[in-house]
Amino acid sequence: MSPAMMGTIGILVMFVLLVLRVPVAFAMFSVGFVGITILDSSRSALSLLASETFTLASSPELVVIPLFILMGNVASETGMSRKLYDAAYAIIGQFRGGLASATVIGCGGFAALSGSSVASALTMGKVALGQMDRFKYNTRLSTGVVAAGGTLGILIPPSTGFVIYAILTEQSIGRLFLAGVLPGIMLLLLFIFVIMLICWFRPEFGPAGPATSWRNKGKALLGAGPIIAVILLSIGGIYSGLFSPVEASAVGAGIVILVGLITRVLSLNALWRAARDAVVTTATVMLILIAAHLINPFMALSHIPAAVGELLSGLGLGVTGTLILILAIYLILGCFLEGFAMLVLTLPIFFPIIMALGIDPIWFGVLTVLTLEMGLISPPVGINVFIVKSVAPNVELGDIFRGVLPFWLMMVLAVALLILFPQIVLFLPNTMFG
């Protein structure tokens, strides 16, 4: 059997295992280990497993994952995320669709703490859906806003998706974090724009809320002050060169915990829950990364990346055409696979092609992560849609998918704008790193 055939069989077996709900890490580990054993030797497979596990476990760059997750968990436990939402609502809640726009802003703010789309959708769903229901918002709009707004968690830094991409492609985490800032803000503004558009044509979808006095606006902003300060300090510190992404994660987590203890809203039990969840999530990510470092050499031994590269080159699509085709493949796969699984499975194949075409890896990383976001709200999997369904069990799943459609179209527009104007992605990292 040829190496290419062995590689193809391995990929098919891995998809079958994922369909059968085998955990991503174990599916990749099994295929990678067995594949390397067949194509090379069991000694080589065992050696890679030992060396890559040690290398990853001792990598200081991965410290950002548990610390940023801990920061987001503590913010959720202490109610800081709700205060950010309350501040946004106090400022714009009196306008049509204001509550929905405040939810998007709240999702963006929480995303800048947690780095997790699922956590953003779950937290803001619990905070905002009840409020929007109280003010008679259409359920399609309210659930669509939470599901779509949650996707900002994988784009607005700190993003776990960027960390995984950086580790797998050996790119700078700091550059990727900065590259995600402007696209994240742009997407947030596009979401607010589509909310305003919907409420302009269908005012009953998002009725205006009661006006808030300037005094109450000030109180709400003051209450959200600590979380706003942490966001600005973390991202601003990285941009200014005051500290690295690892140091930013430590500073952010430390400040959030300190504020919670000083204000006496963070109990030891809550801190334990937040820390335990951060450990479990980090362990899951580490297992996926270890498995990924077995899949990568298996792909190289099977010559699959080279074969796919030759196939794409033979199509004669050019650089932009090939890029769009790869993103389209990500979009289709996103309808069936979880985002991290897609990154790990596809980057060993597509990244060498991207580098051979001379495409900037940081630009490609942001485009890839944004396309993965679209998979989070695309049927039939749409993880964020099912998260919102769990928070709003009385809303039909079809209504939630219809509610996210306008936001999905805005994400398509965002991808198009980033392809047409790469400087939206590259301006901040090039300004800082030169």
3 state SS of 52: helix
Decide if 23 is inside a domain: no
Decide if 303 is inside a domain: yes
| pTM for the predicted model, two decimal places | 0.80
Measured torsion, CA atoms of residues 11, 13, 15, 21, in degrees rounded to the nearest 10: -150
Decide if 301 is inside a domain: yes
CA distances from 225 to 1, 81, 222, 229, 233 (A): 63, 11, 5, 6, 12
Q: What is the pLDDT of residues 125-138, one digit of tens each?
A: 777 787 788 888 88
Decide if 10 is inside a domain: no
Q: What is the pLDDT of residues 245-254, one digit of tens each?
A: 778 878 888 8
Decide if 216 is inside a domain: yes
Q: What is the pLDDT of residues 367-383, one digit of tens each?
A: 998 988 887 788 766 77
Decide if 18 is inside a domain: no
Decide if 40 is inside a domain: no
Q: What is the pLDDT of residues 66-80, one digit of tens each?
A: 887 788 778 777 777
Which of 62, 299, 286, 275 lies closest to 162 in space, CA to CA?
A: 62
Decide if 24 is inside a domain: no
348-376 average pLDDT score: 88
**Taking the mean position of all CA atoms in its chain, how far away is CA 424?**
18
The terminus-to-terminus CA distance of the chain in angstroms comes to: 48
> Dmax over Cα atoms in the chain, in whole Å?
75
Range of the domain at 140: 60-433
Number of domains in the chain: 1
> Cis bond leading into 361, ω under 30°?
no
